[in-house]
Amino acid sequence: MAVGAGLLALAGGAYGVARETSAFAVTRVEVVGAPTHVRAQVRQAVAPLRGGSLLSLDGAALLRRVDALPTVVASGYDRAFPHTLRITVVPEQPVAVVRQGSKSWLASARGRVMTPLAPRAAERLPRVWIPRSTPVMVGRFLPVAHAGVVTRSLALARRFPAHIVLAALKRDGLVFRLRSGLELRLGEPTDIRLKLAIATRALPDLPGGVTYLDVSVPGRPVAGNNPQVSGGD
């Protein structure tokens, strides 16, 4: 028992010494699971941890630091001894450009504001216009009543075969305007996958001159000609 206690004390002492020395100092940060620009942001965010010991690393504080980045959904970490801190990242997925007057921001599938943009940047992403009174802050989530619902719906439309150029939530429901000029009316922002599947099957069979396709009632899609289609940016 005395020998065991001695060994335990020795191990504890060695651990304490290792925590305070450079034996396990962080000299390399490895980031996986994210695109290049997000990896760079993560490395910059954790730069103050370089030189600290892997043994004394505060894991909870590390994750809070990384998860606070507007381009990150969640993260995890691993101590790769002797000197590497490995961080795994689940990145935000951009789905739209939010417009407010002359200002633009990149928005994620969860409705999170990721970064400011030039008005003409990310041209392949749909535009979502919001009122000037809507508060917008990088890292925060868009109000559900405005762009939040729209961006979440666009996240479900990433495999939709037609190019969506504009999305809006109006009094009569969710509307996507396609590059062809067709207005796709989805009604209440529910059952989005089902409505888009119906629209996907209907689009190739639409006659010429049709300006809208209404799938707000999934079992009864309606197509027609309406000169008052949505405007663009």
Q: How far is residue 108 from each of residues 3, 74, 94, 138, measured CA to CA in Å?
A: 59, 14, 4, 11
Given a cut of 50, whether residue 10 has pLDDT beyond it is no
In single-letter form, the type of residue at position 177 comes to: R
Dig out the tokens for 156 from the structure.
């479900």
Instruction: Give me the numbers of helices (H) and strands (E) for the chain, helices first please.
Output: 5, 12
pLDDT tens across 98-133, in order?
A: 999 999 999 999 999 999 999 899 999 999 999 999
Give the sign of the dihedral formed by CA 114, CA 119, CA 121, CA 127. positive
CB 126 within 8 A of CB 154: yes
Which has the closest alpha carbon to 183: 227, 152, 217? 227
- Report the Cα–Cα distance between both ends of the chain, in Å, rounded: 79
User: Which of helix, strand or coil describes residue 128?
Assistant: strand
Q: What pLDDT does residue 18 have? A: 42
The conformational region for residue 119 under phi > 0 = left, psi -120 to 50 = alpha, else beta, is: alpha
Confidence of residue 210 (pLDDT cuts 50, 70, 90): very high
Q: What pLDDT is attached to residue 192?
A: 97
Please say whether the beta carbons of 176 and 215 come within 8 A: no
- β-pairing verdict for 103-108 and 127-129: unpaired
Per-residue pLDDT of 139-164, as tens digits, reads 999 998 779 999 999 999 999 999 99
Q: How far apart are CA 149 and CA 103, in angstroms?
A: 20
**pTM, rounded to two decimals:** 0.84
